Amino acid sequence: MTAVVDRLRSDRPVFSVEFFPPKDAEAERQLWRAIRELEPLDPAFVSVTYGAGGSSRDRTIRVTGRIAQETTLTPVAHLTAVNHSVAELRNVIGSYASVGVRNILALRGDPPGDPNGEWVKHPQGLTYAEELVRLIRGLGDFCVGVAAYPFGHPRSADLDTDAEFFVRKLRAGAHYAVSQMFFRVEDFLRLRDRIAARGIDLDEVPLLPGLMPIRSVKGIQKMAEMANTEIPPEVIARVEPYAGNLESVRAVGVDIATELAERLLAEGLKQLHFYTMNRSNSTVQVLDRLGLLPARARG
């Protein structure tokens, strides 16, 4: 299977997308509609999230495996350390390999039930994401990604400490990183500067900016709280007047995401990562406005 990092090294801008495992049959149909609609657009990779404490582990493995076996896409499976022993983590990594998945996003993970609750290490588990990176890299020919936090991980004392922990993940063997969502380009650029100042070559270890086209006011506020992300007042001011009209909110969300992406590309970024919420239309519209759709997919 193609390594994600090879797909990210391109002379032209590329994009990737994130899905979450479905909870029921209708949600699974919606997920596969989004997958099939995005497949012809040739994303660099598609990632599938992993619930807190492994709560969606089996669904994540199944969905990621189906993507690997039934589509032309390059899938990335998420894996979290929380609530897992090392033996269980080895088993999950082996399950991914058995369905043809060799690209994994390594995360420490949030406590189940309350993302901001106390993080408790499994007695036979791991404490940090860097340890998970080493475990995965030691088990075979895997391409490993990690998370980056424009506002700092909620458990980091400050931004400098957060940057140090992030760099440790890269030096443990991570090949690339994906940022949490943000709504001010400056927040991402400052993160990039903190990392580059510590001697990391971001041409060799790509750092992808995470963009989420807003689909609902309540939805984005909930997501921001879970991700420890700040929504600037100027963004709220643009979407809140349309809170009762989801189509209008979505249209403004496409505008905001497009503006962010245009500025990132102007800053020299060549990769964009979209949090899709298992929908394709907003992401496709942004890509169309950016001129990043393949010629055959343009309307």
Among 47, 82, 86, 210, which Cα is nearest to 155's? 82
CB atoms within 10 A of CB 137: 18
In which band, very low, low, confident or very high, does the pLDDT at 131 lie, cut at 50, 70 and 90? very high
Banded pLDDT at 51 (limits 50, 70, 90): low
In a domain, 12, yes or no: yes
Whether 297 is covered by a domain: the verdict is no
| From 18, 70, 130, 164, active-site residue | 18
Q: Which helix (H) or strand (E) holds 265?
A: helix 246-266
With vertex at residue 180, the alpha carbon angle to CA 175 and CA 181, rounded to the nearest 5 degrees, is 135
Q: Are 75 and 67 in contact (CB under 8 A)?
A: yes
Domain hosting residue 213, numbered range: 4-290
Catalytic residue check, 18: yes
What is the per-residue pLDDT for 297?
64
Which residue is it, tokens 């750092």? 207
Distance CA(234)–CA(217), nearest Å, equals 13
Count of domains in the chain? 1
Strands of 83-204, DSSP E: 103-107, 143-148, 176-181
For residue 83, tell me if it sits in a domain. yes
In this structure, the number of other CB atoms found within 10 A of the CB of residue 11 comes to 6
What pLDDT is attached to residue 82?
87
Three-class SS of residue 133?
A: helix
Structural domain includes residue 187: yes
CA torsion through residues 114, 149, 170, 59, sign: positive
Under 8 Å CB-to-CB from 226, ≥6 apart: which residues?
A: 110, 115
Q: Read off the tokens for 205.
A: 């270890």
pLDDT in tens, 261-298: 999 999 999 999 999 999 999 999 999 999 999 876 65
Residue 237 within a domain: yes
Q: What is the DSSP code (8-state) at residue 76?
A: E
| CATH code of the domain containing 20 | 3.20.20.220
Six-digit token pair at 199? 């001697």
In a domain, 75, yes or no: yes
CA distance 49 to 19: 6
Among 1, 39, 17, smallest CA distance to 208 is for 17
Per DSSP, the residues of 137-161 read HHTSS-EEEEEE-TT--TTSSSHHH
Place of tokens 């020299």: 268
Confidence class for position 116, pLDDT limits 50, 70, 90:
low
The whole-number pLDDT of residue 222 equals 86
> How is residue 124 annotated by DSSP?
T
- The 10s digit of each residue's pLDDT in 193-247 is 999 999 999 999 999 999 999 999 988 988 888 777 889 999 999 999 999 899 9
58: Cα separation from own chain's centroid: 19
Domain assignment present for residue 29? The answer is yes
Residue type at 279 in one-letter notation: R
299 in a structural domain = no
